[in-house]
């Protein structure tokens, strides 16, 4: 199974032609296409036979140089190919590959097996490659477009610009000019008298204080409507770090440290970004993340300008621990399902087209095929490579008219290594196009060898030479303004180079002259619109022939069309002409004219005598549960005051009066008299609530008049809840009353569904009832099942 399982990173043989040798590739990506096939994105390695002849010579030279270094007396292993026999030297050439940075996409079904390609290391004996099947090495990098071979090696530069001035050892008694006080500040030391247990106790205390502080804190109470949530929030690391700092600051004196947790201003409350952010900020952040990705600067500028960049970054990393993030990830995981980690390709058994038809299996010099079969002609020949005359299967090798055949082993060798086991009369680089590559006698490349070749600037007419590629890069940048990518630790595969479209005067001319063919405005809107370049070329040539040089010059000149400023245009478009009526499509359809549904899914409840809708009250929690949460008040003092006055504290979180106007008018059915006057006590300034229901109603009416432009406040469904006989307005931030409860999502887990699939059902059937019961009691326990194998894609 593992032999046929191909993973990203594997080196593999690809068969793209039945008669040619395999191609050697490295899998970079496996992608499932919509049609269900698997495509492999691969990095190409070239064989010697794939190289142009001049480069083969260069490669030979490089190998000679390699031999020299290896022949040095120090080396215990001699690699010098002189020590190899001629046959080995011949075969060695089949094992050398040339890396390229070319990437192509091939169907994964063409994979024919695994091999291994390593960068040659001079400690190794070349023969170590020959002794193992499917082993290749490379030293040089081949660039098929530039037709160059380069060594894949960086350099450590030497010179005063690269090394540092070495620090002298100090003399006895000489000062290093360093004071510890200047280089560091102690934050914690293990040298104290506290036991581990005592430190743990301080941590628990600080968390308790934090929980209490949250109970007192108004905004926390909204976010964390339960004690558990408060306690969880108080257990975050920021509280613990603060406790440790406090201990240190108080010189590990327990009493002092604990006292400092509850200063006169109230218990200490430490909140990190996770807690600091409101639900709406969190939503803004997610929206921004969706829009901008992780460009936190832009997110900050356009969505959360009141946060610092550091706030946002800290928040981001914590946000990733929430189930909101997990959910997003799940969506993305579905999108990325097409990316595979591995693919299963069974052995390929289909007969090769070069196989000769010899159903008797063994040939003994007698032709046994039909007359038309090449096997007849080849029937008497020995293996072109190894000269054996018996083989279970023969293959036609090279052009049919050359009438060669090779035995099964030699065929397999040819497919894998791209040559014949033994040197033959055709030489190594025999090709099926009949033209065996000729070694060019003249060597165009300079004699110094690759490593010594200077880097030459190839910008027209410049031709400056540099010893180091880095210097050439700098030259490109400074003299010609061309950016050459510097060394990067990031994978080559990931880079997608930006490209530039450089217009020549001719292209610009053609744009002006062949506007009718190019339809630039149309093309701009439909990038997929195909421009017929041939036609453009023709038309352009015709048009140019009719024009003088001056006319063409004139055409090339850019004349800016004055359309006025954008603002002016916008203003013009925005203002309707005074006499023009509002166009029909901008008018709202009258409600009575709208089509009515046959069935009303959610009929309105009956109306009360006062015109309000009477909703059935659905309690979602016992009142006892609800009240303390609702009545969470900013401080105990204040709470006492309110309790005495029988006022619900909801207004503390009430939106400002302006927003109140959009809320329905409150209705009171049980007016309760109260001595408190509006505008007094902690509620001063919050005109929305008064204990006197009548007064309140009047004020609300006034508020509606004052803040609502006529016609805006349409009737809205009202929600009236009654708690202890007091009128109460339901608000967004409140829980209970059947209204949506807004809490920090960091604490609120999203709904979780378990959907049983065929697979999971199957797994369940495998589990014994004992195990099932145990699993129910210990849900964290990992379950190993036979079906747990990673998903596998099987291709034929």
Query: Which tokens hold the place of 428?
Result: 């190594």
Selected binder of another protein within 35, 145, 146, 167 (CB under 8 A): 167
Longest dimension (CA), the chain: 123
Whole-angstrom Cα distance, residue 342 to residue 6? 5
**Closest separation between CB of residue 532 and another protein, Å?**
20
The footprint of another protein on residues 311-340 (CB under 8 A) is: 313-314, 317-318, 320-322, 325-326, 329-330, 332-333, 335-337, 339
3-class secondary structure, 3: helix
Stretch that binds another protein, among 464-472, 545-553, 660-668, 687-695 (CB under 8 A): 464-472
How many Å apart are CA 148 and CA 465, to the nearest integer?
A: 17
Q: Least separation, in Å, of the C-beta of 305 and another protein?
A: 15
Choose among Zn ion, another protein, none what residue 410 binds, the Cβ cut-off being 5 to 8 Å by kind: Zn ion
- Both tokens of 408, joined, read 């099964």
Measure the CA dihedral 649/653/658/662, to 10°.
-80
Encode 688-722: b = buried (16+ Cβ within 10 Å), e = exposed: bbbbbbeebbebbeebbeebeeeeebeeeebbbbe
**Binding residues for another protein, total number by CB under 8 A:** 132
Q: Which of these segments, 307-315, 398-406, 642-650, 667-675, binds another protein (CB under 8 A)?
A: 307-315
Residue 447 interacting with another protein (CB under 8 A):
no
462 touches, from Zn ion, another protein, none (C-beta below 5 to 8 Å by class): Zn ion
* Binding residue (CB under 8 A) for another protein from 176, 447, 598, 610: 176
Instruction: List the single partner that 609 binds among Zn ion, another protein, none, CB under 5 to 8 Å by kind.
Output: none
Least CB distance to another protein at residue 176 (A): 5
d(CA 233, CA 744): 11
> Under a CB-based contact definition with an 8 Å cutoff, are residues 690 and 678 in contact?
yes
**Contact letters for another protein, residues 227-266 (x by CB under 8 A):** --------xxxx-xx--x----------------------
Output the smallest distance, CB 558 to another protein, in A: 5
Calpha distance 264→509 (Å, rounded): 81
Residues 457-516 that bind Zn ion (CB under 5 A): 457, 459, 462, 464, 479
Q: How far is the CB of 53 from another protein (least distance, A)?
A: 23
In the region spanning residues 106 to 135, those forming contacts with another protein, defined by CB under 8 A, are: 116, 118-119, 121-124, 128
Sign of the CA dihedral running 407, 413, 418, 421: negative
Q: Mask: binding to another protein, 551-580, rule CB under 8 A, as x and -?
A: -------x-x-----x--------------
Choice from 228, 249, 294, 762 touching another protein (CB under 8 A): 294
Q: Are 288 and 299 in contact (CB under 8 A)?
A: yes
Residues 618, 659, 723, CA angle at the centre, nearest 5°? 30
Q: Which is nearer to another protein, 320 or 522 (CB)?
A: 320
DSSP-assigned letter for residue 596: P
Going by C-beta distance under 8 Å and a sequence separation of 6 or more, which residues neighbour residue 768?
A: none
Element (H, E) at 316: helix 309-319
CA distances from 664 to 272, 602, 617, 730 (A): 37, 21, 17, 10
* Among 121, 136, 24, 137, CA closest to 75: 121
Residue choice 1, 3, 169, 573 for contact with another protein (CB under 8 A): 169
- Which one of another protein, Zn ion, none is in contact with 237 (Cβ closer than 5 to 8 A by kind)? another protein
Which residue's CB is nearer to another protein, number 110 or number 300?
A: 300
One residue of 13, 296, 397, 414 binding another protein per CB under 8 A: 296
Tell me which residue of 52, 56, 84, 86 sits closest to 70, measured CA to CA: 84
Distance of alpha carbon 79 from alpha carbon 126, whole angstroms: 6
Stretch that binds Zn ion, among 180-188, 409-417, 539-547, 648-656 (CB under 5 A): 409-417
CA distance 559 to 687: 64
Q: Does 3 bind another protein (CB under 8 A)?
A: no
Q: Which of 64, 151, 614, 636 binds another protein (CB under 8 A)?
A: 151
Write the DSSP symbol of residue 705. Answer: H
Using rule CB under 8 A, residue 7 touches another protein: yes
Nearer to another protein, 75 or 387 (CB): 75
**Which does residue 310 bind out of Zn ion, another protein, none, counting CB within 5 to 8 angstroms by kind?**
another protein
By CB under 5 A, tell whether 386 contacts Zn ion: yes
User: Which of another protein, Zn ion, none sits in contact with 457, Cβ below 5 to 8 A by type?
Assistant: Zn ion
Q: Name the one range near another protein by CB under 8 A: 6-14, 364-372, 389-397, 415-423.
A: 6-14
What are the backbone angles phi and psi of residue 209, rounded to the nearest 5°?
Answer: -60, -40
d(CA 738, CA 59): 80
* Distance of closest approach, residue 396 Cβ to another protein, in angstroms: 36
Least distance from Zn ion to the Cβ atom of residue 130, Å: 17
- Binding to another protein by CB under 8 A, coded x per residue (else -) over 713-742, reads ------------------------------
Q: Which stretch binds another protein (CB under 8 A): 352-360, 475-483, 662-670, 687-695?
A: 475-483
Quick one: which segment of 357-365, 444-452, 699-707, 709-717 binds another protein (CB under 8 A)?
A: 444-452
Rank residues 360 and 496 by Cβ distance to another protein and give the closer one.
Answer: 496
Query: Binding segment for another protein among 222-230, 471-479, 616-624, 652-660 (CB under 8 A)?
Result: 471-479
Q: Report the residue number, 14 or 120, with the smaller CB distance to another protein.
A: 120
Residue of 410, 450, 472, 513 that binds Zn ion (CB under 5 A): 410
User: Does 412 interact with Zn ion (rule: CB under 5 A)?
Assistant: no
Distance, in Å, from the CA atom of 556 to the CA atom of 548, rounded to the nearest integer, reads 13
Residues composing the chain: 796
Q: What is the 3-state secondary structure (H, E, C) of 617-648?
A: CCCCCCHHHHHHHHCCCCCHHHHHHHHHHCCC
User: Which range touches another protein (CB under 8 A), out of 428-436, 465-473, 632-640, 731-739?
Assistant: 465-473
CB-nearer residue toward another protein: 514 or 742? 514
491, 498 contact by CB (below 8 A): no
Tell which residue, 366, 404, 361, 400, has the closest CA to residue 382.
404
Binding-site string for another protein from residue 489 to residue 528, where x marks contact by CB under 8 A and - marks none = xxxxxxxxxxxxxxx-------------------------
530-550: b (≥16 Cβ within 10 Å) or e: eeeeeebeebbeebbeeeeee
Q: Is 194 in the site for Zn ion (CB under 5 A)?
A: no
Minimum separation from the CB atom of position 514 to Zn ion (A): 35
293 makes contact with another protein (CB under 8 A): yes
Binding site partner of 118, from Zn ion, another protein, none, Cβ cut-off 5-8 A by kind: another protein
Is 689 one of the binding residues for another protein (CB under 8 A)?
no
What is the phi-psi region of residue 641: left when phi exceeds 0, alpha when psi lies from -120 to 50, beta otherwise?
alpha
DSSP 754: -
For residues 347 and 567, which CB has a smaller minimum distance to another protein in the complex? 567
Q: Are 622 and 641 in contact (CB under 8 A)?
A: no
Under rule CB under 5 A, residue 407 binds Zn ion: yes
Measured in degrees and rounded to the nearest 5, phi and psi for residue 35 equal -80, 0
Nearest CA among 22, 24, 18, 62 for reference residue 44: 24
Alpha-carbon Rg of the chain, whole angstroms? 41
Q: Where do contacts with Zn ion occur on this chain (CB under 5 A)?
A: 383, 385-386, 407, 410, 457, 459, 462, 464, 479
């Amino acid at each position: 199974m593992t032999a046929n399982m191909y993973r990203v990173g594997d080196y593999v043989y690809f068969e793209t032609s039945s008669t040619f040798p395999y191609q050697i590739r490295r899998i970079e990506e496996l992608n499932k296409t919509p049609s269900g096939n698997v495509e492999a994105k691969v990095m190409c390695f070239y064989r010697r036979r794939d190289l142009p002849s001049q480069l083969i010579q260069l490669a030979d030279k490089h190998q000679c140089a390699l031999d020299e270094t290896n022949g040095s007396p120090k080396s215990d292993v001699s690699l010098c190919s002189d020590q190899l026999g001629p046959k080995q030297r011949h075969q060695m050439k089949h094992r050398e590959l040339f890396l390229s940075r070319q990437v192509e996409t091939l169907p994964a079904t063409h994979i024919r097996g695994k091999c291994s390609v390593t960068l040659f290391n001079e400690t190794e004996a070349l023969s170590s490659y020959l002794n193992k099947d499917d082993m290749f090495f490379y030293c040089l990098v081949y660039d098929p477009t530039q037709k160059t071979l380069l060594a894949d090696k960086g350099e450590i530069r030497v010179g005063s610009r690269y090394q540092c001035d070495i620090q002298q050892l100090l003399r006895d008694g000489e000062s290093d000019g360093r004071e510890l006080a200047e280089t560091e500040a102690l934050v914690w030391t293990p040298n104290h008298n506290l036991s581990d247990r005592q430190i743990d106790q301080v941590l628990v205390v600080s968390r308790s204080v934090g929980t209490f502080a949250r109970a007192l804190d108004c905004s926390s109470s909204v976010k964390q409507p339960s004690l558990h949530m408060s306690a969880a929030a108080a257990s975050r690391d920021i509280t613990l770090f603060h406790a440790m700092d406090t201990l240190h600051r108080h010189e590990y004196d327990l009493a002092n440290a604990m006292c400092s947790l509850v200063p006169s201003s109230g218990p200490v409350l430490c909140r990190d970004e996770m807690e600091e952010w409101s639900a709406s900020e969190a939503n803004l952040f997610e929206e921004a993340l969706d829009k901008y990705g992780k460009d936190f600067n832009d997110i900050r500028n356009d969505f959360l300008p009141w946060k610092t960049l550091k706030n946002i970054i800290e928040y981001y990393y914590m946000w990733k621990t929430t189930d909101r993030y997990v959910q997003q990830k799940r969506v993305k995981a579905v999108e990325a399902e097409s990316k595979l980690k591995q693919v299963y390709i069974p052995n390929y058994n289909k007969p090769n087209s070069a196989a000769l038809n010899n159903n008797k299996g063994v040939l003994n010099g007698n032709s046994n095929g039909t007359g038309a079969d090449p096997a007849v002609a080849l029937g008497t020949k020995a293996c072109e490579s190894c000269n054996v005359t018996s083989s279970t299967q023969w293959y036609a090798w090279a052009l049919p008219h050359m009438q060669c055949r090779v035995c099964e082993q030699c065929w397999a060798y040819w497919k894998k290594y791209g040559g014949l086991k033994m040197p033959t009369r055709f030489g190594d680089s025999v090709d099926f196009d009949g033209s065996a590559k000729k070694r060019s006698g003249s060597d165009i490349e300079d004699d110094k060898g690759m490593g010594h070749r200077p880097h030459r600037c190839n910008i027209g007419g410049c031709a400056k030479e540099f010893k180091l590629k880095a210097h050439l890069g700098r030259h490109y940048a400074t003299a010609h303004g061309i950016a050459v990518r510097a060394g990067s630790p990031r994978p080559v595969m990931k880079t997608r180079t930006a490209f530039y479209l450089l217009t020549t005067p001719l292209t610009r001319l053609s744009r002006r002259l062949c506007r009718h063919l190019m339809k630039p405005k149309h093309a701009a809107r439909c990038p997929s619109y195909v421009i017929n370049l041939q036609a453009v070329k023709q038309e352009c040539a015709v048009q140019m022939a009719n024009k003088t040089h001056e006319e063409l010059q004139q055409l090339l000149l850019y004349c800016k069309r004055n359309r006025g400023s954008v603002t002016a245009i916008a203003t013009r478009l925005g203002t309707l002409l005074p006499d023009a009526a509002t166009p029909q499509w901008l008018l709202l359809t009258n409600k009575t004219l709208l089509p009515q549904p046959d069935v009303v899914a959610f009929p309105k409840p009956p109306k009360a005598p006062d015109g309000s809708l009477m909703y059935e009250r659905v309690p979602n929690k016992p009142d006892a549960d609800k009240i303390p949460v609702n009545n969470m008040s900013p401080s105990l003092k204040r709470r006492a005051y309110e309790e005495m006055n029988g006022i619900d504290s909801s207004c503390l979180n009430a939106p400002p009066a302006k927003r109140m106007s959009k809320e329905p008018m409150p209705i009171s059915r049980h007016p309760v008299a109260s001595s408190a006057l509006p505008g007094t006590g902690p509620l001063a300034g919050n005109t929305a609530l008064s204990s006197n229901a009548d007064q309140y109603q009047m004020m609300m009416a006034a508020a509606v008049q004052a803040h609502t432009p006529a016609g805006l406040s349409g009737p809205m469904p009202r929600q009236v809840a009654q708690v202890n006989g007091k009128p109460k307005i339901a608000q967004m931030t409140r829980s209970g009353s059947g209204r949506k409860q807004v809490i920090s999502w960091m604490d609120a887990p999203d709904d979780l569904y378990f959907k049983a699939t065929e697979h999971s059902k199957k797994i369940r059937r495998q589990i014994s009832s004992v195990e099932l019961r145990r699993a129910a009691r210990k849900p964290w326990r990992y379950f190993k099942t036979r079906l747990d194998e990673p998903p596998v894609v099987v291709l034929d």
